[in-house]
Structure 1
Amino acid sequence: MSDTSCTHDCNSCGESCTSRQEGPKSFLEPLNPASTVKKVIGIVSGKGGVGKSLVTTMMAVRMNAKGYKTAILDADITGPSIPKAFGITDSGVGMTPNGLMIPATTSTGIEVMSANLVLDNETDPVIWRGPVIAGAVKQFWQEALWENVDYMFVDMPPGTGDVPLTVFQSLPVDGILIVTSPQELVSMIVAKAVNMAKKMNIPILGLVENMSYLNCPGCGTKIHVFGESHIDEVAGIHDLPILARIPIDPNIAAAVDSGTVEYLESPWLDEAVLAAEKA
């Protein structure tokens, strides 16, 4: 006889208890009733320092320029850099009468939620353990007022730890872009991100290679500063499209440092933008 309160291994007795017949539990966190987000795109990497936050900002800028209501949830709680790239220097976060956080808004209308916007000083360290950090990401999702957002880009910390897991389980992610660099170890790094996404049933839109090459200012020749790229080989192994190759360009660094990333031309991301639109 099946028992809904069964706690044993039903395989050992041959019974098909109803409590064992339920499908996998969903951990998706609902938005508050005042918010609407149509698509969520995660920006991930297997390691730090490859330009994940840069890709997040530039993708948001491009989609915003196309007329979409765009937002960024900065899930890199301990290393937030999104506000600086947009020149947001004050707290920028308000509160609605019913207690929802109001995201900061950039000069062109992109909404941003980041840990740096709720700290007293942007240089204050966030010394929190994993579960608390994961809880902050959920709060940014659930307890902020995201009004009629067409595309939300989530800047995730590197690796496959608590926060990426929280985002993949808690947010309705429509697809991810994996950001990488040309070094030889890229094969292992991309494989980690790909395998995590597959285990979590998250669609992978494609690969973005940052610091791909340097244009010689004299002759225009592409110089491969980090050696020949391995991204074509890696893309072939995992059957993924290469959506962008972003060069090393002093203008990019200058725009981020000065908080004017919204006015940076980024023609390299055309295919990545199309992939996001089809997600």
Structure 2
Amino acid sequence: MSDCDSCPSNDGCEKDKESCMIENNPMNNVKKIVGVMSGKGGVGKSTISVLLAKELNKKGFKVGILDADITGPSVPRLLNLKNKRAEAVGENIVPVTTEEGIKVISLNLLIENEEEPVIWRGPIIGNTVKQFWTDVLWGELDYLVIDMPPGTGDVAITAMQSIPINGIIMVSVPQDLVSMIVSKAINMVNKMGINILGIIENMSYVKCPDCNKKIKIFNGENTREFLGKTNLKLLGELPVVDSICNLLSYQDRNTDNSMDSIFSPIAENIIKNMEEE
């Protein structure tokens, strides 16, 4: 049986206590857990997870990131944690801590060569995600951000069943096909009984280098139609930049264009929605 008193979702949980699959580490006190998810890979899910963690950290919150994308872990590289390794203490794992104070666990922090492929079957991957919650010494956290595995397979199901997630952020890009794929993920989360906080539209626009005007690459009507259909909030839009690494350090001479200023209101929306839960 799960330890409901230490569960972040205890207040609003409607699960039967006898059948609940969630186990909690009594050495941890995590107040809020937010998952970042999409229906497919390559839409910037990991990048947005890191941006959110960094912004929450700047606002004074104690933050951790759980990289649940076991077969494609990119969080350590995005946080410049190359050659860093998590440590085992007895039966528990001590996460790596960034210079800013963000606690991080990822499979790439547990293996010698980050370029080695993870050739595991689903049950092993799912159990690893579960252990990242039960066996890692997160300690006191205000927010734990989970970079969810892409798609709607068994690993995503395991994560949602074994970790007390308070809310999910959906990441989309403004194409009809991807919106259809994200709809599948939205329907999955709804069936799992987890609240969806809203959608972040990545690669939404480009900035003209001469006049600074936002240029929509795709028809904005598609986004509005999609939001209306799913009855979800648009938490914010992010621009197209040269690369993922540039997105995390994106700056220009106009402070209105810094990624900090672009992502800060999105983080405020997320915090507000989480506090309402």
TM-score range with shorter-chain normalisation?
Answer: 0.7 to 0.9
Q: Unaligned regions of 5+ residues in structure 2, if any?
A: 1-14, 251-257
8 Å CA contact 2:173–2:179 kept in 1: the answer is: no
Aligned to 1:62: 55
Does 2:126 match 1:131? no
Cα gap change, 1:179/1:266 in structure 2, threshold over 3 Å: closer, same or farther? farther
Aligned to 1:120: 112
State the secondary structure of the residue aligned to 1:249. Answer: coil
Aligned to 1:265: 260
Does 2:192 match 1:200? yes
State the secondary structure of the residue aligned to 2:235. Answer: strand
Q: CA deviation at 1:39?
A: 1.1
In proportion to residue count, which structure has more strand?
Answer: 2
Cα gap change, 1:264/1:147 in structure 2, threshold over 3 Å: closer, same or farther? farther
Partner amino acid, structure 1, of 2:40: K
Q: TM-score, normalised by structure 2?
A: 0.85
Matches within 5 A, 1:17-56: 26-56=19-49
Cα gap change, 1:277/1:54 in structure 2, threshold over 3 Å: closer, same or farther? farther
Q: TM-score, normalised by structure 1?
A: 0.84
Partner amino acid, structure 1, of 2:230: H
Give % identity: 45
Partner amino acid, structure 2, of 1:26: S
8 Å CA contact 2:241–2:247 kept in 1: the answer is: no
8 Å CA contact 1:86–1:256 kept in 2: the answer is: no
State the secondary structure of the residue aligned to 2:203. Answer: coil
Does 2:90 match 1:94? no
Aligned to 1:217: 209
Aligned to 1:247: 239
Q: Distance in 1 between matches of 2:259 and 2:237?
A: 16
CA-to-aligned-CA distance 1:90-142 (integer Å, 9 cap, x gap): 2421222x331000011100000001000111111110000000010011111
Q: CA deviation at 1:172?
A: 0.7
Q: CA deviation at 1:220?
A: 1.7
Partner amino acid, structure 2, of 1:34: M
Paired residues, what number? 253
8 Å CA contact 1:84–1:256 kept in 2: the answer is: no
Q: CA deviation at 1:23?
A: 5.3
Q: CA deviation at 1:224?
A: 2.3
Partner amino acid, structure 1, of 2:274: A
Q: Unaligned regions of 5+ residues in structure 1, if any?
A: 1-21
8 Å CA contact 1:77–1:114 kept in 2: the answer is: yes
CA-to-aligned-CA distance 1:42-78 (integer Å, 9 cap, x gap): 1110111111001100111111111111001000000
Select which of 164, 178, 199 maps to 2:170: 178
8 Å CA contact 1:243–1:272 kept in 2: the answer is: yes
